[in-house]
Amino acid sequence: MTPTVWTGQYYDGRSAARHDVTVTFEEQYACVRPAHGDPFPIPVASLRLTAGLLETEPVTWEIGSGPARLVIADRAVLAEAPPVLSRALKAERAPLPALLGLSGAVAAAILAFLWFLPALAEKGAGFIPWSWEERLGATASALEFGKLDICEDAALRGVLDAAVNRLAPRSPYPIRVRLVSSPMVNAFALPGGEIFIFAGLWNRIRTPEELAALLSHEIQHVERRHATKAIARELSTSALIGLAVGDATAARSVMETMGTLRALRYRRDDEEDADRRGLEAMMQAGIHPRGMVELFENLQQVAQDMPEGLVYVSTHPSTAARAALIRRESARFAGAGEPLVSERMWREARAACR
Amino acid sequence: MLFFLPGENLRMAIFTGNARDLFRIQLANFLLTVATLGVYSFWGRTRVRQYLYSHLELDGDRFQYHGTGGELLLGFVKMVAAVVLAFAGATGLRLLIGGALGEVAYTLSIYFAFALLVPVAMLGSRRYRYSRTSLRGVRFGLYATLREFFPFYLKHLFLLVITLGFYTPVFQVELERFLIQRTRYGDEPFHFDGTGSDLFSGFILNAILFWPTLTLSRFWWEARKRNYIWTHTTFQGVRFRPSLDGPSLLVLTFLNVVLTVFTLGLLTPWIKVRAMHYYAENILLAGDLDLNLIAQGSNTANATGDALSSLLDLGGDLGL
Ligand SMILES: [Zn+2]
């Protein structure tokens, strides 16, 4: 069989001269015959397909490292020339397996950022000695809350101490509750056992059981180390963000938003945890859990009454899920419950810090 | 619209690509780019350029694009390193000086760094693209270095600032003169013989009509400016004969924006092909070229400027 003769153009890469040529292919060589001049061979191994896989392109090979080239308009040549000539060289293509592997690794790193690292940091926080937590809380207390106006009253102290003794008799933390003379409706627990109740919330509390419910919830935040763990999670990821993207970039704010969303999810879990264990602690102390139900309803009312300054309500939203949990758990309590303190003590304490 | 003047030998490049093939390429690019968290986009952009160049035909010969995705990626990495260095330097300055003065120094040095990056992008992107474009086995090239471009750029930037912007048409024409005079096909240079003052009336007209026409007058100004620049560009004594018009540029830009926004760029091939046809049909060559004696030039360029310009969006040319 005689080989097909193809017509095409040859450009030598030294000048822009166009040479009309005929080409025949053998196993190892393309034999090029210019219209004027002597024929010459081009090794097949030095031809690299750069165009011609699409119907609208003439078949084009670069010769060596270019830019010399051989062009044949008839695409049938791809079927007849040595097969190696119809494949584009790998060097021209993207290193796809490596890229895909790399993206997988990056995706895994993002997963690590979102779940694994905070979980690890949280586990680590579980091993922080209590004394460190106390010192952390004391530092925060001194720095941020040293300026707070604390209301001291013997009757109030008696009620608060009684509640703490009943609710957390064997706590490893020195639980200390203080009342802040401020109209804010708020309460929070610092790592290490420091609990602050603001007068705005204190004035809303109607019964000793509601107070017990509030304290029981906050004591669980302390004992379950919710604040410490949240700090560990945030520090671990903000350190990672800092390492990854440095300062003042859009990427940073995007990642921090993701971090905040994640923090919200954790906080909701922590609140449910505090609700459930707080109720448990109340029932074990023999305090009627309806205090928790009442407190919850009370706070719902507060949310409706005054839309501003509701710090506690905004960090403890009255979701249907929380309400259902509290009602369900408290329904298990059978007895009548022992009062937290005597009527007289409660009245005296209520009069304090008005 | 074409003006065929009697006795003149007008030549036109022909675009033979079609939107369907380009769409397939872009669809594959899109999917791979998503799967590789964006890294494939460098190879994708290269494939689009390869397609567009290899379907542009002049006198029976196709253009060829030689750039690779790896080069673009490397350029991008260098550019990111430069930006990080700039921020690190500025932050260091802020810490070193401190106080309100430190903040001012930080802001100023960031602006300064970006002012330096603009000419790097301008020169780098053209130099890279020309050096990766060939016709008949001979490469184009922009034979200019940053060392000569920087003083030129800063001088004209200074004049632009002290004339409150009235220097703009001269600036733009001088910029083109600088770049075109240093552009070659093989060893044969392009020439430019325009003067900025010719464009002054058009510039003023655009300034007056800019807001009353809701900025649309800029497309007429753009057409006039580009026509002027092409008209005053010659190669082997052959002059270009452009006939770009404002309404067409307006429509092309508008459709490009709409398709990019509403189809995530997936349907832009139609507008890209339309733009290629438009430019090919409206930028003609008036005269015969003799390319046979043109020898290969020697030039090298890297892709940093190309990455920078796509980041700063100086390309502005429908991504061609
Ligand atoms: Zn809580």
pLDDT in tens, A20-35: 999 998 888 889 999 8
Residue B180, pLDDT score: 93
> Nearest 10 degrees: CA dihedral of B221, B224, B229, B231?
180
Q: Which two tokens stand for residue A259?
A: 């971090």
pLDDT at A251 over 60: no
Rounded to a whole number, what is the distance in angstroms from the first to the last CA of chain A? 112
- In which residue are the tokens 């930080």 written? B106
Most confident region among A80-89, A329-338, B236-245 by mean pLDDT: B236-245
The closest of B295, B56, B64 to A12, measured between CA atoms, is B295
Which chain A residue shows the shortest CA-CA distance from B35?
A: A100
Q: Do B37 and A56 touch (CB under 8 A)?
A: no
Higher pLDDT, A203 or A124: A203
Sign of torsion, CA B120 B122 B125 B126? negative
For residue A13, give the nearest of B39, B54, B137 by CB distance: B137
Q: Do B294 and A15 touch (CB under 8 A)?
A: yes
| pLDDT tens for chain B, residues 1 to 320 | 334 444 567 778 899 999 999 999 989 888 888 888 888 888 888 889 989 999 999 888 999 888 888 888 888 888 888 888 888 888 888 888 877 888 888 888 888 888 788 888 888 888 888 888 999 989 898 888 888 998 999 899 889 888 888 888 999 999 999 999 999 998 899 999 988 888 888 888 888 888 888 888 889 999 999 999 999 999 998 999 999 999 999 999 899 888 888 887 788 899 999 999 999 999 888 888 888 888 888 765 666 666 665 554 443 333 33
Residue B55, pLDDT score: 93
Residue A254, pLDDT score: 54
- Give yes or no for a contact between A292 and A283, defined as CB atoms under 8 angstroms apart: no
Interface test mutation site (partner B, options A59, A92, A110, max chain B beta carbons within 10 A): A92
Q: Report how far residue A172's alpha carbon sits from residue A164's, in angstroms, rounded to the nearest whole number.
A: 13
For residue A100, give the nearest of B36, B186, B295 by CB distance: B36
Task: State how far Cα A13 lies from the chain centre.
Answer: 56
Q: Report how far residue A240's alpha carbon sits from residue A243's, in angstroms, rounded to the nearest whole number.
A: 5
Q: Do A11 and B138 touch (CB under 8 A)?
A: yes
pLDDT category at A130 given cuts 50, 70, 90 is confident
DSSP-derived pairing of the beta strands A194-198 and A176-180 = parallel
Q: Which two tokens stand for residue B112?
A: 């300064």
Rounded to a whole number, what is the distance in angstroms from the first to the last CA of chain B? 22
Q: Which two tokens stand for residue A40?
A: 């010459």
Chain A positions touching B293 (Cβ under 8 A) are 15-17
In this prediction, residues A196-221 reach a mean pLDDT of 90
Residue type, A229: K
Residue A189, pLDDT score: 83
Chain B positions touching A246 (Cβ under 8 A) are 84, 87-88
pLDDT at A247 over 80: no
Q: Do A103 and B62 touch (CB under 8 A)?
A: no
Residue A213, pLDDT score: 92
Which chain B residue shows the shortest CA-CA distance from A54?
A: B21
pLDDT over 70 percentage in chain A: 82
Q: Do A51 and B291 touch (CB under 8 A)?
A: no
The mean pLDDT value of chain A amounts to 80
Chain B positions touching A247 (Cβ under 8 A) are 87, 91
pLDDT at A139 over 80: no
In CATH, the architecture of A6-92 is: Roll (2.30)
Chain B positions touching A66 (Cβ under 8 A) are 66, 134, 137
Of A231-235, A338-342, B71-75, B119-123, the poorest mean pLDDT is in A231-235
A219 Cα to the center of ligand 1, angstroms: 9
- Give yes or no for a contact between B205 and B221, defined as CB atoms under 8 angstroms apart: yes
Distances (CA, A) of A120 to A227, A233, A245, A257: 15, 8, 22, 20
pLDDT at A117 over 60: yes
Nearest Cα of chain B lies from the Cα of A139 at a distance, in angstroms, of 27
Higher pLDDT, A342 or A11: A11
Residues bordering ligand 1, an ion, CB closer than 5 Å = A 271, 274
Task: State how far Cα A43 lies from the chain centre.
Answer: 58
Task: State how far Cα A68 lies from the chain centre.
Answer: 54
Residue B160, pLDDT score: 86
Q: Do B55 and A68 touch (CB under 8 A)?
A: no
Residues of A with CB under 8 A from a CB of B: 9, 11-18, 50-51, 54, 56-58, 60, 66-69, 71, 91-94, 96, 99-100, 102-103, 106-107, 246-248
Higher pLDDT, A107 or B304: A107
Q: Count of CB atoms within 10 A of residue A262's CB?
A: 17
Residue A239, pLDDT score: 64
Task: State how far Cα B108 lies from the chain centre.
Answer: 28
Q: What is the ipTM for the molecules in this complex? A: 0.80
Task: For residue A316, give the 3-state DSSP assignment.
Answer: coil
The closest of A167, A278, A276, A297 to A217, measured between CA atoms, is A278
Nearest Cα of chain B lies from the Cα of A58 at a distance, in angstroms, of 9
- Give yes or no for a contact between A16 and B184, defined as CB atoms under 8 angstroms apart: no
Nearest Cα of chain A lies from the Cα of B317 at a distance, in angstroms, of 24
> How many distinct helices (H) and strands (E) make up chain B?
11, 11
Interface test mutation site (partner A, options B52, B54, B76, max chain A beta carbons within 10 A): B54
A338 Cα to the center of ligand 1, angstroms: 25
In this prediction, residues A86-91 reach a mean pLDDT of 59
A280-311: pLDDT as tens digits: 999 988 888 888 888 888 888 877 776 555 56
Interface test mutation site (partner A, options B18, B32, B36, max chain A beta carbons within 10 A): B36
Chain A positions touching B139 (Cβ under 8 A) are 67
A354 Cα to the center of ligand 1, angstroms: 24
- Give yes or no for a contact between B320 and B65, defined as CB atoms under 8 angstroms apart: no
A282 Cα to the center of ligand 1, angstroms: 15
Sign of torsion, CA A304 A309 A314 A317? negative
Q: What's the pTM value of the predicted model, to 2 decimals?
A: 0.64
Crossing angle, helix B99-131 and helix B146-162, to 10 degrees? 120
Nearest Cα of chain B lies from the Cα of A121 at a distance, in angstroms, of 28
Q: Do A107 and B16 touch (CB under 8 A)?
A: no
The closest of B30, B62, B56 to B43, measured between CA atoms, is B30
Return the bridge partners of A177, or none. Answer: A195
- Give yes or no for a contact between B53 and B65, defined as CB atoms under 8 angstroms apart: yes
The closest of B241, B236, B233 to B173, measured between CA atoms, is B233
Residue A73's φ and ψ, nearest 5 degrees, are -70, -35
Q: How many CB pairs under 8 A join A and B?
A: 101
Which chain B residue shows the shortest CA-CA distance from A62?
A: B137
Nearest Cα of chain B lies from the Cα of A46 at a distance, in angstroms, of 16
Q: Do B37 and A60 touch (CB under 8 A)?
A: no
Q: Return the domain boundaries, chain A.
A: 6-92, 130-350
Q: Do B136 and A17 touch (CB under 8 A)?
A: yes
Nearest Cα of chain A lies from the Cα of B214 at a distance, in angstroms, of 31
> Nearest 10 degrees: CA dihedral of A10, A14, A18, A22?
-20
Q: Report how far residue B181's alpha carbon sits from residue B193's, in angstroms, rounded to the nearest whole number.
A: 9
Residue A7, pLDDT score: 93
Distances (CA, A) of A342 to A89, A209, A339, A347, B212: 90, 12, 7, 9, 81
